[in-house]
Amino acid sequence: MNMMVVTRKTEEAAGTVAGDGLTEAVNPMVAFEDVSKRFAAGRTSAEVTALDGVGLTVPRGSVTGIIGRSGAGKSTLIRLVNGLEKPSSGRVVVDGVNIAELDEKKLRDVRRSIGMIFQHFNLLSSRTAFDNIALPLEIAGIDRQTIEKRVTPLLDLVGLSDKRNRYPSELSGGQKQRIGIARALATEPKLLLSDEATSALDPETTRSILALLKTINKELGLTVLLITHEMEVIKTIADHVAVIDGGCIVEQGPTFDVFTGHTHATTRSLLGGLAGLHLPEFLTRQMVEKPEPGLRTILRIIFKGENATEPMLARLGSDLGIEVNIMAGAVDEIAGRPFGMLVVSLLADQEKIIQARSFLADHGLSSEVVGYVR
Amino acid sequence: MSADIFALLVKSTGQTLYMVAVAGLIGSLFGIPLGVFLATSGRGELFPAPSVNKILGLIVNAARSTPFIILVVAIIPFTRMIAGTSIGTTAAIVPLTIATIPFIARLVESAIREVDPGLTEAARAMGASPVQIVFKVLLAEARPGITSALTLTIVSLIGYSAMVGAVGGGGLGDLGIRYGYQRFMPDVMAIVVVVLIVLVQLVQSAGDRLARQFDKRIRPR
């Protein structure tokens, strides 16, 4: 049931990415169908459930992010896509093929069409940058001349042509990840899996790696599935997001909708760093839950996209005669669209508050009463 | 030092080198694959065969805990089968090789286990077969460790080879015992010890240099 809602949402989004919305949604790059994964825990017969009834679609051509805390099941989930792990039940369909059904030989062929990058880069220390990128091609049995022809432009693409003969120990973290990306692209995959690829990098390097991933997604039309615990990563490049907690997908859909809807508690707590979601301490300290005459109402106003709030606030005063105080606010950008939040206090009776909120709603601003203060 | 003793010294050094070289070579031929297998045949590893792994592990441990001099005597029938005789330098190579195989196997096993499992995972994700992972990842990445293991093996073999005088194996150790100790010729003993020290030094520094060359993990200065 959850699946159907998701499919409808992704349909619209995929349409904007790659034209024919309907076929995109019917034939996603990756689809998890009621997937569960249990691990034997040590020597006892007890099992640990890593994933529980996961349904997930990764639209073709999208950058889809899966965010969750450590231990939420992200790593297991991404490893099911290229068969490094097998599901205990359910189907993992990649480009129309159920990964769980393949034997080792067929699985190896499929893996060549799925690139993967890692948190700790996983480059061979004994190979130069060039030879690391060449490794998947050697494994595929491609001759040396063709390898040369493929690797050189990849070094160009990631901007490291001058590091061709350097060993990983001579490269910085960001450079290592660029080599990792080039290596993942060597076999010309249709899907790129990113396992916390920027978690070991500083913020600036993270931005440059994310920009590179976005470029690859746009220019090569490569679908990217990434897992991360960093909200920043999702906000910057993911057009679709799934929130995972305790082995279950608790929310998924276009990033902007999920983040600005922020209905689920896990999403909310992960969004912690996002502008204006946390109320300032001085407010929470004196806030009460029940309205009383003489108390000011604290309202959180959320504006998405290009809605302007300021004239609306002014009109609350002029049209409805409500005194508005701005307590906190911030503007952020999610998936390239502005998203902001304003916390205001209103001195008015409950009837006026209801009028104010419907006035805001009429102008495309959603609001929420968070409490009352003196 | 008389010319006779000098000739003996040259001959004994030759015997030691011969025994160490052949036992080291054949030992590596069997020991390295065995080490790779021990490192990759556990539960959930590349070639999962936990029970074979356990049995081989037991045999390796048994062979390694048997004192070398006892091994030499205990396998005399086997030695005769392989070498045609149980006495002499060539015959001595058999127990030396038998002792070397488990020694190398354990060292290679630990060198391979030190390879970051992330690399194996990355190779699997690229579609590498288990055999490709062994050759392109594990052996390539463990090369510095395996080089050190082989160096240590050769040094130990030089020591072990001193004991095969018991079965007429000859070599430097035997010369030291028979001339230096039993015939009260301390100068011979001293020379033997010096030659052994020089040999070990040469092997060790050559091995260290090679291992350093293979090791690209450290930034070259």
Q: Are A288 and A373 in contact (CB under 8 A)?
A: yes
Q: B124 — contact with chain A (CB < 8 Å)?
A: yes
Q: How far apart are CA B153 and CA B175, in angstroms?
A: 22
Q: How far apart are CA A279 and CA A328, in angstroms?
A: 8
Inter-chain contact A122–B141, Cβ cutoff 8 Å?
A: no
Going by C-alpha positions, the residue among A293, A290, A312, A291 that lies closest to residue A301 is A312
Instruction: Summarize pLDDT for B173-182 with one digit per residue, the tens.
Output: 899 988 988 8
**pLDDT confidence band for A12 (50 / 70 / 90):** very low
In this predicted structure, the answer to whether residue B170 has a pLDDT above a threshold of 70 is: yes
**pLDDT confidence band for A13 (50 / 70 / 90):** very low
Which string of DSSP letters, residue by residue, matches B16-51?
HHHHHHHHHHHHHHHHHHHHHHHHH-STTSSS--HH
Q: Which tokens hold the place of A276? A: 């204006």
* Residues of chain B found within 8 Å of residue A192, distances taken between Cβ atoms: none
CATH superfamily of B3-214: MetI-like (1.10.3720.10)
Q: How far apart are CA B167 and CA B173, in angstroms?
A: 12
Going by C-alpha positions, the residue among B148, B114, B143, B110 that lies closest to residue B216 is B143
Nearest CA in chain A to B220: A170
Which residue blocks in chain A are alpha helix, DSSP H? 2-18, 21-26, 74-81, 104-111, 129-139, 144-157, 173-185, 203-219, 231-237, 255-261, 265-270, 281-286, 310-320, 350-362
Inter-chain contact A139–B123, Cβ cutoff 8 Å?
A: yes
Inter-chain contact A125–B217, Cβ cutoff 8 Å?
A: yes
Q: How far apart are CA A79 and CA A87, in angstroms?
A: 10
In this predicted structure, the answer to whether residue B70 has a pLDDT above a threshold of 60 is: yes
Site from B126, B135, B146, B216 to mutate, A interface, most A CB atoms within 10 angstroms: B126
Q: How far apart are CA B202 and CA B184, in angstroms?
A: 29
**pLDDT confidence band for B1 (50 / 70 / 90):** low
Q: Are strands A323-334 and A114-118 parallel, antiparallel or unpaired?
A: unpaired
Which residues, 6 or more positions from B167, have their beta carbon under 8 angstroms from its beta carbon? B72, B73, B76, B79, B86, B87, B88, B91, B92, B95
Which residues, 6 or more positions from A304, have their beta carbon under 8 angstroms from its beta carbon? A256, A260, A337, A338, A339, A364
Nearest CA in chain A to B215: A126
Nearest CA in chain B to A193: B125
Q: What pLDDT was estimated at residue A15?
A: 39
Q: B118 — contact with chain A (CB < 8 Å)?
A: yes
- Give B128 or A345, the one with higher predicted confidence: B128
Q: B216 — contact with chain A (CB < 8 Å)?
A: yes
Q: What pLDDT was estimated at residue B94?
A: 95
Residue type at B68? Answer: F
Instruction: Summarize pLDDT for A287-330 with one digit per residue, the tens.
Output: 888 888 888 888 888 877 666 666 778 888 888 888 888 888 87
Cα dihedral sign, A5-A6-A8-A9: positive
Inter-chain contact B125–A108, Cβ cutoff 8 Å?
A: no
Which residues, 6 or more positions from A235, have their beta carbon under 8 angstroms from its beta carbon? A255, A259, A274, A332, A333, A334, A335
Interface of B with A in 27-86 (CB under 8 A): none
Mean pLDDT value across residues B33-49: 95
Residue type at B160? Answer: Y
Based on DSSP, count helices (H) and strands (E) in chain A, helices before strands: 14, 14
Q: Are strands A191-195 and A114-118 parallel, antiparallel or unpaired?
A: parallel
Which residues, 6 or more positions from A322, have their beta carbon under 8 angstroms from its beta carbon? A316, A346, A347, A348, A352, A356
Going by C-alpha positions, the residue among A3, A49, A41 that lies closest to residue A25 is A3
Interface of B with A in 132-151 (CB under 8 A): 132, 136-137, 140-141, 143
* Residues of chain B found within 8 Å of residue A200, distances taken between Cβ atoms: none
Q: What whole-number percentage of chain A has pLDDT above 70?
A: 88
In this predicted structure, the answer to whether residue A48 has a pLDDT above a threshold of 60 is: yes
State the nearest Cα–Cα gap between B207 and chain A, in angstroms: 18
| Mean per-residue pLDDT of chain B | 93
**pLDDT confidence band for A276 (50 / 70 / 90):** low
Q: What is the dihedral of CA B118, B122, B123, B128, to 10 degrees?
A: 130
Site from A122, A133, A199 to mutate, B interface, most B CB atoms within 10 angstroms: A122
Nearest CA in chain A to B142: A126
Domains, chain A, ranges and CATH? 2-113+189-273 (3.40.50.300), 281-373 (3.30.70.260)
Q: Which tokens hold the place of B38? A: 């021990």
Q: What whole-number percentage of chain B has pLDDT above 90?
A: 81
Inter-chain contact B126–A112, Cβ cutoff 8 Å?
A: yes
State the nearest Cα–Cα gap between A258 and chain B, in angstroms: 31
Where exactly are the structural domains of chain B? 3-214
**pLDDT confidence band for A25 (50 / 70 / 90):** low
Q: What pLDDT was estimated at residue A292?
A: 82
In this predicted structure, the answer to whether residue B156 has a pLDDT above a threshold of 90 is: yes
Instruction: Summarize pLDDT for A106-142 with one digit per residue, the tens.
Output: 999 999 999 999 999 999 999 999 999 999 999 999 9
Q: B109 — contact with chain A (CB < 8 Å)?
A: no
Q: Are strands A89-94 and A97-98 parallel, antiparallel or unpaired?
A: antiparallel
Phi and psi for B12 in degrees, rounded to 5?
-65, -40
Inter-chain contact A167–B218, Cβ cutoff 8 Å?
A: no
Helix axes A203-219, A173-185, angle to 10 degrees: 20
Beta bridge partners of A56: A32
Q: How far apart are CA A66 and CA A55, in angstroms?
A: 12
State the nearest Cα–Cα gap between A254 and chain B, in angstroms: 28
In this predicted structure, the answer to whether residue A262 has a pLDDT above a threshold of 60 is: no
Q: What pLDDT was estimated at residue A14?
A: 40
User: Which 3 state secondary structure label does DSSP give A310?
Assistant: helix
Q: What whole-number percentage of chain A has pLDDT above 90?
A: 54
Q: Which tokens hold the place of A23? A: 């076929």
* Residues of chain B found within 8 Å of residue A183, distances taken between Cβ atoms: 126
Q: Are strands A366-373 and A296-304 parallel, antiparallel or unpaired?
A: antiparallel
Q: Are strands A223-228 and A63-67 parallel, antiparallel or unpaired?
A: parallel
Which residue blocks in chain B are alpha helix, DSSP H? 3-40, 50-65, 68-74, 76-83, 89-113, 117-125, 130-132, 139-141, 143-160, 172-175, 186-214
* Residues of chain A found within 8 Å of residue B218, distances taken between Cβ atoms: 169
Going by C-alpha positions, the residue among A194, A204, A184, A201 that lies closest to residue A67 is A194
| Mean per-residue pLDDT of chain A | 86
Q: What pLDDT was estimated at residue A269?
A: 75
Which residues, 6 or more positions from A337, have their beta carbon under 8 angstroms from its beta carbon? A256, A304, A305
Instruction: Summarize pLDDT for A352-367 with one digit per residue, the tens.
Output: 888 888 888 888 788 8
In this predicted structure, the answer to whether residue A373 has a pLDDT above a threshold of 80 is: yes
In this predicted structure, the answer to whether residue A59 has a pLDDT above a threshold of 60 is: yes
Q: Are A233 and A199 in contact (CB under 8 A)?
A: no
Instruction: Summarize pLDDT for A170-188 with one digit per residue, the tens.
Output: 999 999 999 999 999 999 9
Q: What pLDDT was estimated at residue A335?
A: 77
Instruction: Summarize pLDDT for A215-251 with one digit per residue, the tens.
Output: 999 999 999 999 999 888 998 999 999 999 999 999 9
In this predicted structure, the answer to whether residue A26 has a pLDDT above a threshold of 70 is: no
Helix axes A129-139, A144-157, angle to 10 degrees: 130
Inter-chain contact B219–A118, Cβ cutoff 8 Å?
A: no
Q: Which tokens hold the place of A32? A: 């998890």
The predicted complex's ipTM stands at 0.89
